[in-house]
Structure 1
Amino acid sequence: MPTQKDEVYGDHISHQFNEELAELKTEFLKMGGLVEQQLMDSIQALIENDGQLADDVRGRDKVVDKMEIAIDEEATKVIARRQPTARDLRLVVSVIKMVADLERVGDESKKIAKFAMGLSQEGQAPRGYVEARHIGNHVASMLHDALDAFARLDSEQALRVMKEDKRVDEEYQAATRTLLTFMMEDSRNISRCMSVMWVLRALERVGDHACNIAENVIFMVKGEDVRHASMERAEEVVSR
């Protein structure tokens, strides 16, 4: 009986076509690893008031942008040369979509690094760092698991990532309420707390992008688009 991997990556008469698909997957995962590190470093820079690390994160954003363009170009060439059908077309189209999500995670990491640099110059750690660390670790785990689900073509793991998105939203809302309380208690907290709120918003968006990647993994494996579908519907698709 064919595995999930067999259902997406069949053997082709053209050995070169197999290599092109494998290379596309490899380059996507390489970009994913870079973006994942960028995210973790931006969180570390914030928590540890490390302005130099934050500056390094911002500098790496150009590398991510170049990788996005290169993968997009290669995916377009595969479509033009091979005119893939069904499962292979799902793979190529999904990679194009997921690369865009990775690039946006890179943008959010750069944004976090920017605020980390500003806060490190102020010296005093503001309220909200505990919440930022917690949500940051949560969305970093989601991104890692989404990339792993892609590597292993594991739709069940992708579904688990999707389910985590609601929890992140709840954590974000609770953290925002906490920071608002701090600002009301002492107006001197407003500027620093606002910076942390923007960081939290960026982290919440990272969770959304991880969820998007997971949705595309399910599309690749199962052949059905679960974007905007209810969780019950996504569960039904994955259980087939």
Structure 2
Amino acid sequence: MENLNLGKHISGQFNAELEHIRTQVMVMGGLVEQQLTDAINAMHQADEELARRVIEDDHKVNSMEVAIDEACVRIIAKRQPTASDLRLVMAITKTVSELERIGDVADKICRMALEKFSQQHKPLLVNLESLGRHTVQMLHDALDAFARMDIDEAVRIYREDKKVDQEYEGIIRQLMTYMMEDPRSIPSVLTALACARSIERIGDRCQNICEFIFYFVKGQDFRHRSGEEIENLLAKK
């Protein structure tokens, strides 16, 4: 994060506070990424011990969100940041909220992994693993872009969500076909459908993190705009 070009402040303590919360975001992001990776592995390998460990560790992600939010509130109250400093603090509070929700998805995947899938229904999980690994990579890249506030990389990641959506749509079609061909699979398919939707949402949350990068760098709020609008605005960067 040394290349954010925020400038130095008269108060060295202010610099230290900003650096601390930026560092904490990356620590939280690393924890969430590991939780999600472990959840995908637990699902694919039917590893109950790993699944339970991820579920038990979810409180760490929640605690970090609260601690970072409190640190941001203290900075706003004490330092009254303006311009890029304020945008950074706001981007951080919104990013940690997205990370906490991604942590919830890891928890959900593990709870699904603990369900007893019959042997003939295990293939339902194969495509979910592929989708999961795709979103893990997207999260990793989004965190890296956030660390450097790299708008070019953020643009690439933002567009990557289209591929996640296409992969998700393919999984939905396969699961629906599987359910129609074997009515006994309906309970397992419904569980897999819910999990697939949660994993697909990770891509959307990574897009949100990219929008916070756009906000910090460009000073414009990109939320609730159509994909075409965002593409046009980014083309003018």
Instruction: Please give the range of the TM-score, normalised by the shorter of the 2 chains.
Output: over 0.9
Counterpart secondary structure, 2:4: helix
Rounded to whole Å, the distance in 2 between the matches of 1:84 and 1:210 is 26
- The one-letter code of the counterpart of 1:17 is F
Task: Report deviation, 1:128.
Answer: 2.5
Per the alignment, residue 69 of structure 1 pairs with 66
Task: Report deviation, 1:238.
Answer: 6.3
Q: Percent identity?
A: 46
Counterpart secondary structure, 1:84: coil
Do the aligned residues in 2 keep the contact of 1:40 with 1:140 (CA within 8 Å)?
yes
Do the aligned residues in 2 keep the contact of 1:75 with 1:96 (CA within 8 Å)?
yes
- Note closer, same or farther for the CA distance 1:106–1:83 as it changes in structure 2 (3 Å cut): same
Q: Deviations over 1:95-118 (max 9, x none)?
A: 111111000001111001000011
Map residues 15-164 of structure 1 onto 2, 5 A cutoff: 15-119=12-116, 122=118, 125-164=121-160
- Note closer, same or farther for the CA distance 1:145–1:238 as it changes in structure 2 (3 Å cut): farther
Q: Deviations over 1:183-233 (max 9, x none)?
A: 111112112222211211110111111111111011111111112234454
- The one-letter code of the counterpart of 1:42 is A
CA root-mean-square deviation: 1.7
Counterpart secondary structure, 1:118: coil
Do the aligned residues in 2 keep the contact of 1:128 with 1:196 (CA within 8 Å)?
yes
Rounded to whole Å, the distance in 2 between the matches of 1:238 and 1:140 is 27
Rounded to whole Å, the distance in 2 between the matches of 1:76 and 1:123 is 51
- Note closer, same or farther for the CA distance 1:124–1:57 as it changes in structure 2 (3 Å cut): farther
Rounded to whole Å, the distance in 1 between the matches of 2:156 and 2:215 is 15
Counterpart secondary structure, 1:32: helix
Map residues 195-234 of structure 1 onto 2, 5 A cutoff: 195-234=191-230
1:5 and 2:1 are equivalent in the alignment: no
Q: Extract unaligned runs of 5+ from structure 2.
A: none
User: TM-score, normalised to structure 2's length?
Assistant: 0.94
Do the aligned residues in 1 keep the contact of 2:178 with 2:185 (CA within 8 Å)?
yes
Stretch of structure 1 that moved more, 178-187 or 167-176: 167-176
Paired positions, count: 235
Do the aligned residues in 1 keep the contact of 2:121 with 2:185 (CA within 8 Å)?
no
Q: Extract unaligned runs of 5+ from structure 1.
A: none
Task: Report deviation, 1:123.
Answer: 5.5
Rounded to whole Å, the distance in 2 between the matches of 1:160 and 1:56 is 33
Rounded to whole Å, the distance in 2 between the matches of 1:43 and 1:203 is 10
Do the aligned residues in 1 keep the contact of 2:40 with 2:129 (CA within 8 Å)?
yes
User: TM-score, normalised to structure 1's length?
Assistant: 0.92
- Note closer, same or farther for the CA distance 1:239–1:152 as it changes in structure 2 (3 Å cut): farther
